[in-house]
Structure 1
Amino acid sequence: MSLQTRLMTAVIGFVSLILVIVAIITSATLGRTLEDQLDEKVSSNAHQLVRVTQAFAPSSATARNILTGPLAPPVGVLFVVSSPVTGYSGAVVESSAGDELTGTLEALTETQMAEVAAALRDSSVATVALTDLGSYRIMALPADNGVLVVTGLPRDDIQSQLTQLLTVIALATIGGLILLALTTAITIRVGLRPLRAVASTATRVANQQLDRGEVSITERVPASEADPRTETGLVGASLNTLLDHVDASLAARQKNEEQMRRFVADASHELRTPLASIRGYSELSLRALRQGGADDAGAIESTTSSLERIQAQSLRMTRLVEDLLLLARLDEGRELIYGTVDLAQLALEGLSDARPTAADHHWGIEVPDEPVTIVGDAGRIHQVIANLLANARTHTPAGTTITLAVTREGEEAVLRVHDDGPGIDPALRDELFARFARGDSSRARQTGGTGLGLAIVKAIVEGHGGDISVASEPGDTTFTVRLPVTPANPSPAAEPED
């Protein structure tokens, strides 16, 4: 059964049980109360009739004589007299009016009086079912003149009232249960509407082709059905949160796949150029040797030149492969060997190495008098400094001033590389640290490169738990590296490979 059916069955069944119990208790309580009231009336009539009977002699003490006297008993009173002289006599008052009896009396048959006598055999008060008369409550009392008086009243009124009560309770119960069923069905249906919205949203999401082309999950549970203040609404809100996370994960996966495809394409392009050169020069050398022979001076010179070019392209390809391998190891959290590093000393060494490579630039350095000591990989941090200086040197014209500064700010060591060159195109800043990123036309690239320098810088800095940022405008470009003095979770040192 559905949840709605189970809830309705449970609620209606439980309420029905309560109503039945209440009806039984109510009818029993009312029946007991009516029985007590009837007993009081029977007792009152019995004592009254005993007083009247005591005025008659035993020879004249019959039911008809007593009931036709000045007494006006109520309709339905049963009266039986047992006289030692006249024997048994009994009657039932059929109707009366005024102070005296004006109706008729119906004499009791022998069978009926025998039924009365049998009911009173063990008790002075009893309930008896009389033939043709129905159920009566009777009481026996002795009179002073030796006459036994039995008085009774019918129980029809009690049974009629109980029947009416049970009928009213049954009708009210049925009507109440019908109303309860309708109300419960509407309430449950409205209450479960957010769950149906969740199921519908989940079905639509399940039917999406998430493995083809661009993926984006736009389906959400409506806000009206995702109120976290209610239990069912909380399910919708949780599903929306889950879909947000899945959508973000799919977007990140797609972005990574696009970056990977672009990375493979860029790497292939970078490798294709030196490989094509190596193939061309090797074919040229082979052709020269075949045409001129091993002793031909021209062939030897051509072959030597080709081999030099092959060596240069091989070195270029080797640097590219090494850079790619370094990035892969850094991505895996390897390749860092931690130790105590004086960042100021590394800055001085890095600037000393960079200055001879660009004598047409102006170089400056700002370091404090005290050492700026951090925990890190000295070789990789030196590579960060060298790459940043090479980037500034390569993408700025002659006469540009490049300044390297090192400071200590709280628990961070800060390294800044500033130049007053033409600046970086704002459109390229978001991809500046991407792999195989190239400088734009505002920075004339004077030497060839793989486009991995800044990507390596970013990977090394983040491997140390730091971050790198850039601020650039014409005449003012600054790369800022922030490194924690002590990394939170130093990565294990990489093991050497064969």
Structure 2
Amino acid sequence: MAIVIVVAIALAGATTLGTRHILSSQLDRQLDTASARQATHPGTGTCASIPGRGPAPGSDVLGNLLSSIFVARCANGQVSASMVAEGEVNSTVTTTYPEALGELLAVPADGHRRDVDLTGLGAYRVLSQVRDGTVYVVALPMESVNHAVNALLVLEAGLTVLALTTAGVVCRRVIVTSIKPLNRLAATANQVSELDLDSGEVNLPVRVPPTLSDPATEVGQVGYAFNHMLNNVEGALEARQRSETKVRQFVADASHELRNPLASIRGYAELTHRAAHDTPEPVRHAIDRIEAQATRMSSLVEDMLLLARLDNDQTFDLVPTDLVELVLNAVSDSRAAGTDHTWTLDLPDDPVTVAADPDRLTQVITNVLSNARKHTPPGTLVATSVSIADGLATVRIADTGPGIPESVRDTVFERFARADTARTASKEGSTGLGLSIVAAVMEAHQGSVHLDSRPVGPGSEPAGDQPGQHGTTVVLTLPLA
């Protein structure tokens, strides 16, 4: 519409200028004719003019030029002026329009046509030239030209508005009709974008209908390409699912098969440790390390097996569980394991009952507390609280440690993810599965886990010893039973 408006204005302007030029050219020809006959018609502004009113010789030529003015200034300074009106010559211009007469005599006598706005008379086209020592001035009114141009402008404005309105209505209808297929393509794309494609078995039943996927049309080419893309995406998702299934099955099988050898290694290590009273110290130390690493590997295998089971079936035997009791026991155990930390509890007086698997939920809370103990320096405050709001039970575990760097903050719940070593002063090994188990178990409980961390800046000291000023906060949310 903007382009149409610009084109319409340009055409209207060009038409108006062209029409004005044509009418002005016609007026100039009349001006030349009147100027050529001025000297041969006494009484029409010549030195031979007789004052008074009467028929003008040659009025048959000048009679159609109403309000035309003829002025002659002779060599002796005498001025004669006449106005043609209704076929007669009025020679009283000198006294009737003295200001207009002065303006006409001020026009340079160089033979060039000029537009002059005469006082009391309006716009005139004026030609002034010198012949035989006499200055002849002819002025023809431009009222007809201006009237025609103004009428043309009004007509063009009306036609332009009508044309724009019609074009707008027609073009809108045509465009709306034309883009309906594109809207259907967009609706299909929106349906696909709302599907959960990040994991699991994915089915893409959405396709562009055959009527919109005919390559013979432009829209059909887009629809055909879109369907082809969906087919490729579906194939890639199926291949990814098959690969994930194989990996999960392998992890589950490997974890299961590793349990027995690891149990044997731990058993023989314990047996050797008990029987080796006279064994040299280096050998006893080696046996202790074998037993410790076998225990650690057994824990890793159990975690991997748990994650594999959760991937295959995220259902637990949920029973009403007192969350307060679980938190109290978990913090007590963590306090016994981390006597160099400061542990605080903020628990409600009444039980907080949630539908949960007690063992798995205890594992979740223990994992979070264990991370707060392992990955913070001695003397760190770890505050744990339980609250209820909007039908949800919330467990908040906050520490005043160094915090988690922003570069790894978004991946802490992924498997085998580990925070920067700057966060921890502990020498205890980490498998990187603790928080991934937390996320998987919370999802299986229809709950959620959220982490917020404010690392201490380089070279700066903690602003205080209260959680929230710095450190890491983990929030576990569960629906009430």
TM (norm. structure 2) is: 0.43
**Higher Cα Rg: structure 1 or 2?**
1
